């Protein structure tokens, strides 16, 4: 058992606890309780009795699956072979269409690399998108269940050693035989996130409380690494929207999602982040590799857009404490930029500085007169932040919404947001939606017939007001609430409820790795995109669902009968099991509910 020896940063008691956890994991693996069924069905790239280079079919025992292994691109008109969706070669097991390095390299001459535009989403045209099922890597296993997955994941599921090599000394991640172990460290908290989080709480409250008592409910973690900061905020019931680019630490988001922590691929560069204004009580940067002082502080102005009034900007980086190199110059620039935005520096110690965003109109207007900043022209708050260029200005907001007077997340879950009244969603519709999804979640779990711990990563692909996520609140899950950009902007209300999510257009693939969700929920999503242009067809969305869902993961689809029937016919070609059920919709009429489950298959 020497392969599981612990690093010197942790005491023997911690080591004993981890040893017990590992023994439990080994025992339950063979009992089939913690990990589920780890046996895939297989496809050979060449039939055993053939020397031909032509694509082959799936086989397991006496069963044969006719899907072929063949690198296939999207064509117009779209056509799915009678043999079923083709399967991409195993080398494409981490394919992320809108963050494809080879495609982005071809765009570099036209990108502003000084602002890191290459790290943003760049979706290829249809003819350059793969149109085949993304296979799992060699020796892929059904992921370890939460909460064990916070600390351990299968090495073969994210088989990359670079982060362990370059960040092991900071206790991001260590290799332990067949597992990756996450001790809970980070670049500025190598002795563990809990101690760091408590220190931030002390700094924000003048040593009188923690982050929760400081009013923090939602955090945006910039350049999140493997998301240990987010994972250890959960005991405080603080929800974190964590993101990082696909850069030199390219698999950090994959590690985080494999652990069961809410993250997505994104970058602060030239466009606004896909989150609504005034959504977070804290924006956190711990060595996040963002040059806040450059380009007239435009990235800090984006932080200002996202922070609620009296929200905190936490900055743990060398300019906050080092006096060598050009760090003092950078610090002075940060002080000038934040002062111009009327932020107040409330603490600076132990390698960290914390500012508070003060909603001081008089200060902002006075600084604008002195040409220290620009005031933004009035904008339509109902317009989603999607492919929107960043603005080098500050939006002046008058008044405060009632959400800022609430202190606990439990209160926020049931609050009717004022933002809904602006888009003609009244309190009755809001309350009805909340009650409806509580009933439906109970139905879903009966249909899936699984334990509560088998689902961790959930995405609601057409979230409306977030009622589905609220209904899941008592379960050990986190939910990515997606508001399609063609619908009403309800994402502000979702954040007002203490939930997290993002804007997205399902005509494009999502910014996540393959195999990152246990449950996808699509309530009339296909109807929303019915009769849309190429790239938004039913088959395109099904392919993206298949890319995002884990083997043995569930996809629940509610839609009109014609669409449900079409999906039911296509599901076997995607190697999904599917059953059809009838349930009542919000108008108490019968509606089709499809329960799909992705088969666990692999190429050998």
pLDDT tens per residue, range 10-25: 334 344 444 434 443 4
Inter-helix orientation angle 298-306/327-340, to 10°: 50
Return the ∠ at Cα 514 (arms to 569 and 131), rounded to 5°.
50
Residue 514 binned pLDDT confidence (cut-offs 50, 70, 90):
very high
Q: What is the pLDDT of residues 495-513, one digit of tens each?
A: 999 999 999 999 999 999 9
Q: Is the pLDDT of residue 133 over 70?
A: yes
Give the per-residue pLDDT at 163: 66
Give the span between the Cα atoms of 302 and 298, in whole angstroms.
6
Which 3 state secondary structure label does DSSP give 232? coil
Q: Tokens 């612990």 identify what position?
A: 6
Q: Which of 185-189, 261-265, 470-474, 539-543 has the lowest mean pLDDT?
A: 185-189
Q: Is the pLDDT of residue 38 over 50?
A: yes
Give the per-residue pLDDT at 249: 63
- With a pLDDT cut of 70, the percent of the chain lying above it is 87
Over range 285-312, report the average pLDDT. 96
Residue 248 binned pLDDT confidence (cut-offs 50, 70, 90):
low
Q: Is the pLDDT of residue 50 over 90?
A: no
Give the per-residue pLDDT at 359: 84
Q: Is the pLDDT of residue 469 over 50?
A: yes
DSSP H helices in 298-374: 298-306, 327-340, 361-369
Q: Which of 216-230, 259-273, 407-421 has the lowest mean pLDDT?
A: 407-421
Residue 117 binned pLDDT confidence (cut-offs 50, 70, 90):
very high
Q: What is the pLDDT of residues 310-352, one digit of tens each?
A: 999 999 999 999 999 999 999 999 999 999 999 999 999 999 9
Give the per-residue pLDDT at 260: 98
Cβ contact 582:591 at 8 Å = yes
Cβ contact 385:279 at 8 Å = no
Which 3 state secondary structure label does DSSP give 65? strand
Q: Is the pLDDT of residue 58 over 60?
A: no
More confidently predicted of 148 and 49? 148
DSSP H helices in 461-560: 467-471, 491-496, 525-528, 538-548
Residue 190 binned pLDDT confidence (cut-offs 50, 70, 90):
confident
Cβ contact 302:273 at 8 Å = yes
Give the per-residue pLDDT at 11: 39
Over range 481-505, report the average pLDDT. 97
Residue 80 binned pLDDT confidence (cut-offs 50, 70, 90):
very high
More confidently predicted of 83 and 50? 83
Residue 601 binned pLDDT confidence (cut-offs 50, 70, 90):
very high
Q: Which of 30-34, 88-92, 339-343, 584-588 has the lowest mean pLDDT?
A: 30-34
List of residues 6+ apart from 361 with CB closer than 8 A: 396, 398
Over range 374-399, report the average pLDDT. 88
Q: Is the pLDDT of residue 482 over 50?
A: yes
Cβ contact 261:243 at 8 Å = no
Over range 56-67, report the average pLDDT. 55
Over range 205-229, report the average pLDDT. 94
Per-chain mean pLDDT for the chain: 88
Give the per-residue pLDDT at 269: 98
Give the per-residue pLDDT at 108: 97
Give the per-residue pLDDT at 160: 84
Residue 39 binned pLDDT confidence (cut-offs 50, 70, 90):
confident
Q: Is the pLDDT of residue 205 over 80?
A: yes
Beta-bridge partners for 579: 595
Q: Is the pLDDT of residue 191 over 70?
A: yes
Lookup: tokens for 493:
């209300």
More confidently predicted of 382 and 297? 297
Q: Which of 185-189, 545-549, 573-577 has the lowest mean pLDDT?
A: 185-189
Give the per-residue pLDDT at 405: 63
Give the per-residue pLDDT at 382: 78
Give the per-residue pLDDT at 41: 76
Q: How far is CA 11 from the centre of its chain?
A: 33
Q: Tokens 């509910």 identify what position?
A: 593
Give the per-residue pLDDT at 54: 41
pTM of the model as a whole: 0.91
Q: Is the pLDDT of residue 30 over 80?
A: no
List of residues 6+ apart from 11 with CB closer than 8 A: none
Q: Is the pLDDT of residue 223 over 70?
A: yes
């Amino acid at each position: 058992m020497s392969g599981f020896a612990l690093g010197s940063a942790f005491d023997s008691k911690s080591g004993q606890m981890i040893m017990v956890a590992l023994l439990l994991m080994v025992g339950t693996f063979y009992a089939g309780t913690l990990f589920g069924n780890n046996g895939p069905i297989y496809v050979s790239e060449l039939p055993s009795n053939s020397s031909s280079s032509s694509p082959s079919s799936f086989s397991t025992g006496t069963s044969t699956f006719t899907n072929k292994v063949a690198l296939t691109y999207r064509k117009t008109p779209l056509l799915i072979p009678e043999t079923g969706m083709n399967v991409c070669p195993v080398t494409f097991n981490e394919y992320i269409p809108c963050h494809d390095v080879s495609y982005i390299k071809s765009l570099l001459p036209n990108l502003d690399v000084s602002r890191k535009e290459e790290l943003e989403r760049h979706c290829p045209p249809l003819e350059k998108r793969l149109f085949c099922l993304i296979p799992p890597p060699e020796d892929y296993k059904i992921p370890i269940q939460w909460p064990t997955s916070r600390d351990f994941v299968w090495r073969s599921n994210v088989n990359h050693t670079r982060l362990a090599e370059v960040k092991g000394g900071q206790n991001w991640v260590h290799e332990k035989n067949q597992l990756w172990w996450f001790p809970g460290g980070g670049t500025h908290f190598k002795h563990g996130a809990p101690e760091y989080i408590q220190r931030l709480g002390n700094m924000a409250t003048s040593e009188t409380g923690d982050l929760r008592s400081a009013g923090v409910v939602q955090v945006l973690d910039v350049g999140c690494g493997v998301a240990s900061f987010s994972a250890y905020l959960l005991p405080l019931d603080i929800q974190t929207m964590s993101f990082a680019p696909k850069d030199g630490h390219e698999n950090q988001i994959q590690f985080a999602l494999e652990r069961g922590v809410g993250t997505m691929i994104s970058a602060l560069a030239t466009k606004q982040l896909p989150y609504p204004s005034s959504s977070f009580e804290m924006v956190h940067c711990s060595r996040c590799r963002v040059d806040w002082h450059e380009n007239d502080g435009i990235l800090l102005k984006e932080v200002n857009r996202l922070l609620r009034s009296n929200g905190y900007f936490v900055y743990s980086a060398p300019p906050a404490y080092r006096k060598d190199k050009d760090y003092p110059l950078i610090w002075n620039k940060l002080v000038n930029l934040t002062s111009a935005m009327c932020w107040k520096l409330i603490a600076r110690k132990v390698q960290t500085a914390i500012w508070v965003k003060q909603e001081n109109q008089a200060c902002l207007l006075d600084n604008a007169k002195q040409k220290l900043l620009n005031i933004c022209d009035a904008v339509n708050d109902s317009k989603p932040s999607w492919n929107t260029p960043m603005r080098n200005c500050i939006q002046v907001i008058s008044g405060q919404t009632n959400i800022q007077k609430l202190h606990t997340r439990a209160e926020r879950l049931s609050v009717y947001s004022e933002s809904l009244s602006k888009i003609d969603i009244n309190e009755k519709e809001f309350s009805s939606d909340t009650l409806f999804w509580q009933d439906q979640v109970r139905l879903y779990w009966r249909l899936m017939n699984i334990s509560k711990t088998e689902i961790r990563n959930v995405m609601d692909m057409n979230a409306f007001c977030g009622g589905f996520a609220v209904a899941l609140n008592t379960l050990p899950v986190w939910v990515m609430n997606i508001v399609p950009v063609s619908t009403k902007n309800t994402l502000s209300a979702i954040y007002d409820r203490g939930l997290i999510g993002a804007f997205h257009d399902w005509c494009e693939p999502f910014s996540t790795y393959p195999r990152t969700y246990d449950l996808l929920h699509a309530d009339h999503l296909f109807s929303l995109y019915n009769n849309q242009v190429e790239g938004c067809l039913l088959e395109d969305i099904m392919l993206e669902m298949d890319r995002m869902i884990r083997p043995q993961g569930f996809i629940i689809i509610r839609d009109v009968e014609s669409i449900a029937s079409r999906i039911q016919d296509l599901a076997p070609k995607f190697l999904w099991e599917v059953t059809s059920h009838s349930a009542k919709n919000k108008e108490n009429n019968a509606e089709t509910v499809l329960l799909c489950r992705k088969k666990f298959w692999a190429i050998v």
